Chains A and B, each alone.
Chain A
Amino acid sequence: MNVPTLATLALVLAYPIFYAAYLSFHKVALAELRRGVFPFVGFDNYTRILTDPLFLLALKNTLVFTIFCVTVEIVLAVAIALLVDQTHVWTGRVTKFLILLPYAVPPIANGLIWAFLYSFDFGFLNRILFTLGLIHEPINWVGYPSTAIFMLAVPYIWRTLPFAILLVHAALQGINPELFEAAAIDGAGALHRFRHVTLPLLRPVIVVILVLRTSFAFTVFEEVLAITQGGPGDATWVAAWYSYKRSFAPPFDIGVGSASAYVLALIVGALAIAYVRAVYRRID
């Protein structure tokens, strides 16, 4: 009964992972693809990317992007999950209903919608601020190299926040309410209860979110393509964008693309091992 699954996983997951390693040690560009012969080049592709300032910049940008996204997401997820837990406020029920919506939006569409929101001349955000009378000159939201990566993080956070909120919210439902009552009887204020009861009990789920979101934020792609395409300058080149551009845009150097993707995979792989160690024990 496992044959279809194993066959598909072998073709689409296992084989490509090893084949990617193979490609990363060979010269594979348009000419080689046509001939079907890939000359062995050893660690050439790796030395090339590790000495390429653009690749190192892309890694750095990815790191900044990931740390920013994951931190903001965890704070927002805990805050919003606690917020919608206050079921006696009717606006809370509206929030709860809307939480899942961003999850369904195609990432590339999300990117384009934010490109419209951010647009300097015609953008929706500037329109809102003009209408509210808050600005008198349009703001160039993604025009500055120093802040573009953070502006890029906002759409990504918007799209991936539902997942984090859901996990925190599910964990909150599992906390025994008597714990809060006991703490309240002992004279603990709301802030105290949060710090000494809620937060410690949420720690496991926060670790799960931390590792999962970190490893996925490392591979951000669609929003970059739709909003900045790496710009302004090369301020928003991220790792997945580097692999994509090297492989599928001139000079179509698939060997170099594979090597850079493999560096990415090794980083994410280390996180995956940490995840399994930390969390998946509890499944048995």
Chain B
Amino acid sequence: MRNLGLVVLQALCLAHAHAYYVPITAGVRALFLQVGEGTMTGGSFFTIGVPDNNATINTVSLAVPAAALGSGTPLPMSTDSPVIISPLDLFAFCEPPATSGQVYVGGFYRVPGTTGAAATLSVSTPPFLTSANGDTIPIQQIAWTSSGLSDHAPTIPSGAFTGGTQTLRSVTRNFWFESCLAFRYLNTQITPPGTFTGRATFTLTAP
């Protein structure tokens, strides 16, 4: 009986609590990329807006005047993307695309922790623009200039398509990035008549 009494006493002591616990989770991981048009319900990220998937594929294009064909003078391309404002805070970040031809590209990689790899922004293109007749223009003929209002330096470097997958930049964890890309046709070769098309696919990859 004495031993049993001791066991009960211990059990009571263990039942006493001298602290309470609040289990918490870490913040969620998130990845966001907008190229051209996007969809945001509720304003912007700064007004707790919620982004949605936007399947629109915007285009950049131009019609090369016959007299200018192959002159070596780059020709600016226009776009059907209407985006001027940043989805981050509705700041008018790009020049009006109707006159500038700029395409908005922005996003972020949100993740808890201070260590670990960054995300990567890349673009994949075919080696050529092709026409219905099977004629081609090397994709390297398409280049872009990167800028943004109030930007001290372009977030996405200016460059040209190389064909295949090329890395545009490393996206640091927990930082916003955005740029306005104005595309141009370098126009350094004579090409047969026709409409030449190709698709550039931008990808943001998290480790």
Q: A and B: partners?
A: no
